[in-house]
Amino acid sequence: MCGAGTGRELLVADTHRVSWASAAALCGRPCDARDFGHGSLVCACSATYCDTLDPLVLPAPGTYIKYESSKAGKRLERSQGSFQHNTKTPDFHLTLDTAQRYQKVKGFGGSVTDSAAINIQSLSKDAQNHLLRSYFSEEGIEYNLVRVPMASTDFSIRLYTYADAEGDFELKHFNLTEEDTRMKIPILQAAQKVAKRPLSLYASPWTSPVWMKTNGAMTGRGTLKGSPGDKYHQTWAKYFIRFLDEYAKYNLTFWAVTAGNEPTAGEIVFYPFQCLGFSPEHQRDFIARDLGPALANSSHRDVQLIILDDQRVMLPYWAQVVSSHGLHWLLLLGAQGGAGWLGPWEQVQPQHPDGRALRGPLTPIIVDSSKDIFYKQPMFYHLGHFSKFIPEGSQRVGLTVSKKCRRCDLEHSAFLRPDGAVVLVVLNRSPVDVSFGISDPQLGFIEATAPSDSIQTFLWKQPA
């Protein structure tokens, strides 16, 4: 059995002296834990060693497997057990109800920004391979959704677009940059090679060229000149098509595009980074008159179109406005953000090249290129509790709570996978252990404990 026997003890006792070949034969490799005093452990990876997971195999009927990560130091640690019968149910328990069906899952993933590419490529080839396999392969957390910025962002070291020549309405001077051809594209191609699941790429622009904008700058407060249907809006729509055309030459095709990153940033407030402002009415009309037809009349007609790409609180109003003209084919997706809401046990915050701490949540991986090492922060494993076990097409299902969990902060979601297996994720933010039960009416009962500051994923098969 993979990872069983004395080989596991050998690898734990002397991680750096086990050869690559022998480690591979053991399948899953444990975390090379480091404690830098920032709240919890990180797992160090280098050119010669990186922790991995055993291939995911569904448990036998009547049994379950559990993966656990905790502030105390566990990192997707696997265990297994059996459903019980005629067991006294604790006061606090969760009961699965697969008759209640909610939304389906598209996937989980991250962004290949310029800064991500710079950090990845600062590592040796072997360390890069470990990093990409950690994110995308079967021995890692199996991301399947990748956001690709269209030109520069606030995670870039310079301001640029693909059509900076003044008045180039025909986009004769449209060109990808070195950030694409030498950085993002090779990384995306490498990710595709190691991924077992198909990757869904989606693109998002931060700003149009400055000659198209009302404020004549990539940053600040400004939107497209003119109005939907005119030459500025038509050219901006063509810009999307040209981007898709150019990436297709590298065998990279896209599942979706967004109509623009954070459209309210340049519309409502002065934004210090690249932005292009839109009101919901403006975005609706731009999509209806320009971007929608441009996609429909191109070879990319099957590419999905995502609105808003901004703060979630704005979603109901934007959806109502944009769909008011019959644009019901639009897709709504949580396109950006992190898992700070998971309570990720404080760690290192990434920095901008000018020394500023980057806004937003903690990053899953930190790179130290001077040592050719990268560190998987707790956030990496938090995300893996979802991305690894909830593949595309999974559907959230009902979960009945027996009573309010007092003196604790237990959160939970259940999903039915396309293969019929059940996934239950349980998060305990509180500083105390919480005992609870899991009931599947078809199988029986699981007695469980969520340790303080932990996240668990349970997986089992239901009878056919």
The matching CATH number, chosen from 3.40.50.2000, 3.40.50.360, 3.20.20.80, 1.20.1070.10, for 109-387 is: 3.20.20.80
Contact 117, 156 (CB under 8 A): no
**For 6-28, how does the pLDDT look when each residue is reduced to its tens digit (9 = 90+)?**
222 222 222 232 333 333 334 68
State yes or no: pLDDT of 360 exceeds 70: no
Q: What is the CA radius of gyration of the chain?
A: 24
Percentage of residues in the chain having pLDDT higher than 90: 72
Q: Supply the pLDDT for residue 321.
A: 82
State yes or no: pLDDT of 361 exceeds 80: no
State yes or no: pLDDT of 415 exceeds 70: yes
φ, ψ (nearest 5 deg) of residue 355: 100, -15
Model's pTM, two decimal places?
0.89
How many whole angstroms separate alpha carbon 385 and alpha carbon 71? 14
State yes or no: pLDDT of 198 exceeds 90: yes
CA distances from 256 to 152, 240, 333, 419, 432 (A): 19, 11, 10, 25, 43
> At 264, is the pLDDT very low, low, confident or very high (cuts 50, 70, 90)?
confident
Instruction: Decide: residue 262, CB within 10 A, 0-12 exposed, 13-18 middle, 19+ buried.
Output: buried
How many whole angstroms separate alpha carbon 175 and alpha carbon 402? 59
**For 298-308, how does the pLDDT look when each residue is reduced to its tens digit (9 = 90+)?**
999 999 998 87
Tokens, residue 50: 């990186």
How many whole angstroms separate alpha carbon 76 and alpha carbon 455? 9
How many whole angstroms separate alpha carbon 292 and alpha carbon 335? 19
**For 32-63, how does the pLDDT look when each residue is reduced to its tens digit (9 = 90+)?**
999 998 889 999 999 999 999 998 999 999 99
Tokens, residue 90: 């604790």
Give the orientation angle of helix 114-121 with respect to helix 125-136, to 10 degrees. 130
Domain ranges, ordered by start, for the chain: 1-30, 109-387
Contact 262, 273 (CB under 8 A): no
**For 93-122, how does the pLDDT look when each residue is reduced to its tens digit (9 = 90+)?**
899 999 999 999 999 999 999 999 999 999
How many whole angstroms separate alpha carbon 16 and alpha carbon 257? 43
**For 205-258, how does the pLDDT look when each residue is reduced to its tens digit (9 = 90+)?**
999 999 999 999 999 999 999 999 999 999 999 999 999 999 999 999 999 999
Instruction: Decide: residue 240, CB within 10 A, 0-12 exposed, 13-18 middle, 19+ buried.
Output: buried
Q: Supply the pLDDT for residue 402.
A: 86
- 94 Cβ neighbours under 8 A, 6+ residues apart: 399, 400, 401, 402, 412, 414, 424, 426, 436, 437, 438, 439
Provide the β-strand partners of residue 456.
Answer: 68, 426
Q: Supply the pLDDT for residue 323.
A: 74
**For 68-102, how does the pLDDT look when each residue is reduced to its tens digit (9 = 90+)?**
999 999 999 999 999 998 777 777 889 999 999 99
Tokens, residue 377: 């922060």
Contact 93, 438 (CB under 8 A): yes
